[in-house]
Amino acid sequence: MSTLEGKVAIVSGSSAGIGAAIAQELSYRGARVVINYPFSSEKENAKAVLSSLEGPAGSITVEADLSSTTGPSKLVESAVERFGTIDILVNNAGISAPLDIRHADLDECLNAWDTMAGLNGRGTLLLTRAVLKHLAKQNSRIINICSTTSRNPEPGMSVYAGTKGMIESFTRCWARELPQEYGCTVNAVAPGPVATENVLSAPPQILEMLKKTSDGTPVAPRMADPSEVAWTVATLCDERAAWLNGFRFSIDQCAPSVRLCDLNSTYKYVVDQLPQGYRDSRGFPTGNILIWLSLKLVGIPNSIMWFNRGHSRPCENLAHHVGPIVVVGAGPVGLFTALLLAQASVKVIVYEKGSGIDQSPRAVAYFPAVLEEFFKAGILEDIINAGEKNTKGCDWRDKDGNILCKLDVPPDMSDFAVMLSQPEMCEVVLAALQKTGFADVRFGHSFEHLEQDEDAVNYWIKDESTQQVTKNRCQSLIGADGGRSTVRKSLDIEMEGFTWDSWLFVAVNFAYNLDYFGWKAGNFIVDPDEWSIVVKRGKGDSWRMATAIPRQITESTDKRFVLEEAEVKRIKDRICRLLPETRARLSTRQWRPTLLISVAPHASGKLNNPVGGLGLTTGMLDAAHLGRSLRQIFREGANPSVLTTYARVRRNIFRERTDKLTTSNLLRLMSTDAADVKKREELFARLKDPGEFVSKIQTGLPDFALTSTSETKFDTFHETTWFISVTQPDDWTREQFIHEYKTVHTGMTKGGKQAGSPVRRYVQLSNSALTVPGTERPSWDFVTCLTFPNLFITHAGLQDPHYRATAGKHIFCRLDQKGCLVRKVAYFSQVAGEDGFNPGAIRALMFHHRTAKDDKFTEEWFQERANKVTELVTSDHRVRSFVLWQDITPKQIGHFFKDTQFAAGTWHNFKAVETYDFVDQDGAGTFLRDLGERLMKAHDGKITVVVGEPDVIF
């Protein structure tokens, strides 16, 4: 969506909350944005917002305190110095503080007035005044953010409501004074309670007051999302909103709206200007937003237009129906899920059978993807303080402790892991959970069984101290009670997967100063009989060994084993052989063994072995995705289908990545199979090679491939292909363009490859005159096709100084490029042994367009498409090969392409790509003409097709 392309917007107070969401939406629609923050302490937040922008490059951050008399002019001068003119001003900066004048003394009243009136009132006035002479004289916009509080205040909000009333009055006056002279419109947007981070972290009494307000919202009893306010603001900035002037749009409950200027066909305008993805098949609006309008001119006085994305009726806030959300199990996944919900003001009850946090030896490593989720939850600093950073990497050793291979962390790598025992981590999460005021954690209470009806879940809990069983009722119940889950059994769900029948996994804590002898925090012991992992548990000299001993053939796999004395001695001897000296301090308590089968429940229900720390990692990332999905349902009124998406995504990640990674980790340590031994030797050789960094990244950062909620971590698992449109600059000759692209840039890329660039394949596809019925042919001259080991390497390559100084700096085409990053999901070839990267004489690329920002194909579509095309081409020897690609372009494209020429491009238009390679040009032409239409009939969206000769550079 580029309805604001070329526009420049100032958004005051945009380093967080509503302002940040407005900046992101304006950027998404094509504007360059000036992000304003008041103090240096907000600088990093402003930079994070800047990195999150998905629109064109060039947006900036400016520090300016708008409560001062000089701040507004400073902000405008900085913007004009950079851009020359201003098209949009959003007066968003504001401050709120409750003050009951009946009980406050004079100083408190004066301080509150000076603070709120100085920023909310005077700041808005002075910023608008400063920007007027720099406004574009046509289709410029001033949007004032006021509040429903000015008309429907709660007790204790008189000062805040008064200052927001000032802004309403400004809007009425300016809507009459400014348009004719400055070519602008002036409107106000009045949100009610909005679920920003600051609001959600407010004291309980404030949240309760806001809840009373939000509960009165007709469409859905919930707070608005910042993105909904942002959508309204950006829509008012659209060129087609030029007839909307002097309006107050209330994004909340049924407050009266203000109409100051004549309005022609407003309803038709609002509906017609919505993009296709925000209208249903009847043309009625969708989109998760409310706009209240007084539509007297179209015969609908005081009417309500509610837009509810993906639904045919208003959303309902399920959290207000039947009781709290219940979590069974106070392990890391259960507690973290509960924390995420409680932080969103959702009431949670956690039941745990044990008398407290489980103290048995468990996982200890928290990798960057999990640490990012801790950061979002506000507990990262506490986790780091409780544990110990690992910035050194890991080693592989033999059973005597001799190093076989090292994996050192690059000196410029900013990512790190934290070593902290699972019980201590749980204590940190528990403390944060209890501080929310929305959680009730009940130890010594075990789950018995459940029954579901149409409206809720009935469940029975036993008090372990009294043995009394009580029946309870809740809206949703989360089973986080481990591999032997009683919740799962109560639902008659079978455990999937397999058991390592030949091994009994054992974990032991011990104390020894291995740091002194140069041991890293993570160590893998390679041996067919005595394999193990030895990891540090946090601060001090506490370590953990996870290993295994042979299981007796008659032993039950469901039994919790007690080791015999001989087995205990065997484990002791195993550790002592590893230790650099024989004076190990090993107490009887420290040698109490614990059977480890699982760390936490995963979306697939399948359990993994304990080698590599990825079980806990996957569990915590499951919790992050589940917590986000439940918050969307219970606080934002989202369709419960987001849980289906959660289950599908997390199940696939476990099956396709976690399971494969942990299995390969274990086989690397203990397998004597010739193929596994060869893989281990080849990996160690690559890790020892100073010039080989792809394997180091994939081995050292496997967690990047396991997250589905990260905004900064990029997949290290799947090979990635990047399609990039290449178009001749308007002021270049054809000869100059061909020389720069085919000779200069190609030469640079080849040179980079010889110097160690991670690019695996480079193909240039020309855009011929051939077309496909039912599709569009773009104006591009070429499509560049680059293949990288993974998405992480693609991003890292863009940050490489050598690349930035050579090919990354070379401008050889227009920078309004289009394309996407994809992974291969299906492949067919007529030629045995080909991998899909040996183009025929002619290649066709089919780009499937998105109809909305979040539009994407389902797994079923990819499977059906692959089957249909394969069936068509199997006996058709005109087609040499076929590849189906799924878009994996990061949502936070501003961060991915930060400070590169690609930041100005458009990368989210396509959701899938198909590649067809043909034997010759005649075969391509007849196939595309004869069968192309059959392929297109299976898809009702827009498709762009490029057909041409592929030039394989390498």
pLDDT at 937: 58
Distance CA 954, CA 949 (A): 15
Distance CA 509, CA 684 (A): 28
Q: What are residue 911's phi and psi, to 5 degrees?
A: -110, -10
CA distances from 757 to 114, 316, 885, 900 (A): 58, 52, 24, 17
pLDDT at 506: 83
CA atoms within 13 A on the CB side of 331: 23
The secondary structure element, H or E, covering residue 72 is: helix 71-83
The secondary structure element, H or E, covering residue 748 is: helix 746-754
pLDDT at 409: 81
Nearest to 339 by CA among 433, 476, 438: 433
Q: What are residue 106's phi and psi, to 5 degrees?
A: -60, -45
Query: Are the CB atoms for 413 and 420 separated by under 8 Å?
Result: no
Query: Are the CB atoms for 346 and 475 separated by under 8 Å?
Result: no
DSSP string, 342-391: HTTT--EEEEESSSSS--S----EE-HHHHHHHHHTT-HHHHHHHSEEE-
pLDDT at 39: 87
Distance CA 670, CA 527 (A): 5
The angle at the Cα of 232, spanning 227 to 237, to the nearest 5 degrees, equals: 120
Distance CA 435, CA 433 (A): 5
The string over 485-514, giving b where at least 16 C-beta atoms fall within 10 Å of a residue's C-beta and e elsewhere, is: bbbbebeeeeeeeeeeeebbbbbbbbebeb
Q: What are residue 831's phi and psi, to 5 degrees?
A: -105, 120
Judging by DSSP bridges, how do beta strands 445-452 and 950-952 pair with one another?
Answer: unpaired
Domains in the chain: boundaries: 8-275, 720-952
The angle at the Cα of 57, spanning 53 to 58, to the nearest 5 degrees, equals: 105
- The DSSP output letter for 246 is S
Nearest to 229 by CA among 144, 130, 312, 157: 144
Distance CA 706, CA 279 (A): 34
CA distances from 720 to 185, 825, 906, 949 (A): 46, 11, 18, 22
Give all strands (DSSP E) within 66-148, no chain letters. 88-91, 140-145
Distance CA 853, CA 248 (A): 27
pLDDT at 485: 87
Query: Are the CB atoms for 214 and 221 separated by under 8 Å?
Result: yes
Find the radius of gyration of the CA atoms of the chain: 30
Two structure tokens written together for 216: 């009165």
Longest Cα–Cα distance of the chain, Å, equals 93
Nearest to 243 by CA among 225, 259, 219: 259
The string over 571-585, giving b where at least 16 C-beta atoms fall within 10 Å of a residue's C-beta and e elsewhere, is: beebbeebbeeeeee
pLDDT at 297: 27
Nearest to 24 by CA among 586, 133, 368, 16: 16
pLDDT in tens, 329-338: 999 999 999 9
Positions of the chain with pLDDT under 70 = 1-2, 197-222, 251-323, 412, 497-501, 552-563, 581-613, 693, 832-838, 931-940
Which residue matches tokens 């979040």?
Answer: 854
Nearest to 231 by CA among 300, 199, 278: 278
Query: Are the CB atoms for 593 and 572 separated by under 8 Å?
Result: no
The residues pairing with 325 across neighbouring beta strands, listed in sequence order, are: 348, 476
Catalytic annotation, residues:
160
pLDDT at 663: 84
Number of other CB atoms surrounding residue 632 within 10 Å: 18
Nearest to 475 by CA among 383, 346, 574: 346
Number of other CB atoms surrounding residue 37 within 10 Å: 26
What is the rounded (10 degree) CA torsion for 330, 333, 339, 344? -130
Number of other CB atoms surrounding residue 900 within 10 Å: 17
Amino acid letter for position 506: V
The string over 447-465, giving b where at least 16 C-beta atoms fall within 10 Å of a residue's C-beta and e elsewhere, is: beebeeeeebbebebbeee
Q: For domain 720-952, give the fold.
A: Alpha-Beta Plaits (3.30.70)
CA distances from 393 to 389, 522, 548 (A): 11, 7, 24
Residue 142, classed as helix, strand or coil, is strand
Query: Are the CB atoms for 487 and 479 separated by under 8 Å?
Result: yes
Residues whose CB is less than 8 angstroms from the CB of residue 850 and which lie 6 or more positions away in sequence, other chains included: 277, 856, 908, 909, 910, 911
Q: What are residue 626's phi and psi, to 5 degrees?
A: -65, -45
HEC profile for 534-585? EEECCCCCEEEEEEEEECCCCCCCCCCCCCCHHHHHHHHHHHHHHCCCCCCE
Q: For domain 8-275, give the fold.
A: Rossmann fold (3.40.50)
The string over 938-953, giving b where at least 16 C-beta atoms fall within 10 Å of a residue's C-beta and e elsewhere, is: ebeebbbbbbbbbeeb
pLDDT in tens, 207-217: 666 666 656 55
Distance CA 335, CA 528 (A): 37
Put residue 819 in one of left, alpha, beta given phi > 0 → left and psi -120 to 50 → alpha: left
Distance CA 717, CA 699 (A): 10
If you count DSSP H runs as helices and E runs as strands, how many of each does the chain have, helices first? 30, 35
Which residue matches tokens 């990545």?
Answer: 657
Q: Quote the crossing angle between the two packed helices 158-177 and 124-132, to the nearest 10°.
A: 20
CA distances from 184 to 86, 181, 735 (A): 11, 8, 45
Nearest to 816 by CA among 750, 894, 726, 881: 726
Edge-to-edge strand list for the sheet holding 457-463: 445-452, 457-463, 469-474
Query: Are the CB atoms for 181 and 142 separated by under 8 Å?
Result: no
Residues whose CB is less than 8 angstroms from the CB of residue 411 and which lie 6 or more positions away in sequence, other chains included: none
Nearest to 49 by CA among 895, 953, 937, 913: 895
Amino acid letter for position 37: Y
